[in-house]
């Protein structure tokens, strides 16, 4: 569990439905044993799935506070503000939680490509497809 320091904050995003405060919402998600929850990132305008990344309670809090995506880099073991270096930040439009509370879907407006290769999506390798395609 990554025990980042996080405190009561005001969110730039409106809390919905859950009927709880931001801290309670963040606290009740099902994180894995490393304190991570997977987050699917989708372009809110095109519907394209851009990437899959992982959040801690702390980076989710920061995402909700700032309205931009923050993740936990598993390779670098540190907080990762998407676009901090490239400028390709992602503005968050909507945050959804799945039915069993262990995965997030973030709808975003990306300022540029999601992938470090320069492609809009990280899912740019086709493994297999229908014969008719």
Residues that bind a copy of itself (CB under 8 A): 11-18, 22, 25, 38, 40, 42, 46-49, 51-52, 64, 67, 92-100, 103-105, 115-117, 119, 122-131, 133
Closer CB to a copy of itself, residue 1 or residue 46? 46
- Identify the bridge partners of residue 52 per DSSP, sorted by sequence position: 40
Asked whether the beta carbons of 101 and 27 are under 8 A apart, the reply is: no
C-beta of 58: minimal distance to a copy of itself in Å? 16
Cα–Cα distances in Å, from 68 out to 22, 101, 124?
A: 16, 21, 23
Closer CB to a copy of itself, residue 3 or residue 17? 17
Q: Look at residue 66 and give its three-state secondary structure.
A: helix
Asked whether the beta carbons of 2 and 58 are under 8 A apart, the reply is: yes
Closer CB to a copy of itself, residue 7 or residue 75? 75
């Amino acid at each position: 569990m990554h025990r980042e320091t996080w405190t009561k904050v005001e969110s730039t995003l409106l809390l919905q439905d859950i009927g709880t405060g931001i801290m309670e919402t963040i606290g009740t998600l099902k994180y894995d044993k490393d304190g991570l929850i997977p987050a699917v990132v989708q372009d809110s305008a095109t519907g394209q799935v851009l990437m899959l990344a992982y959040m801690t309670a702390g980076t989710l809090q920061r995402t909700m506070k700032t309205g931009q995506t923050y993740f936990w880099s598993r390779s670098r073991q540190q907080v990762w503000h998407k676009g901090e270096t490239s400028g390709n930040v992602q503005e968050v439009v909507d945050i959804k939680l799945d039915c069993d509370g262990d995965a997030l879907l973030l709808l975003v407006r990306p300022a540029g490509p999601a992938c470090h290769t320069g492609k809009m999506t990280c899912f740019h390798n086709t493994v297999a497809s229908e014969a008719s395609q």
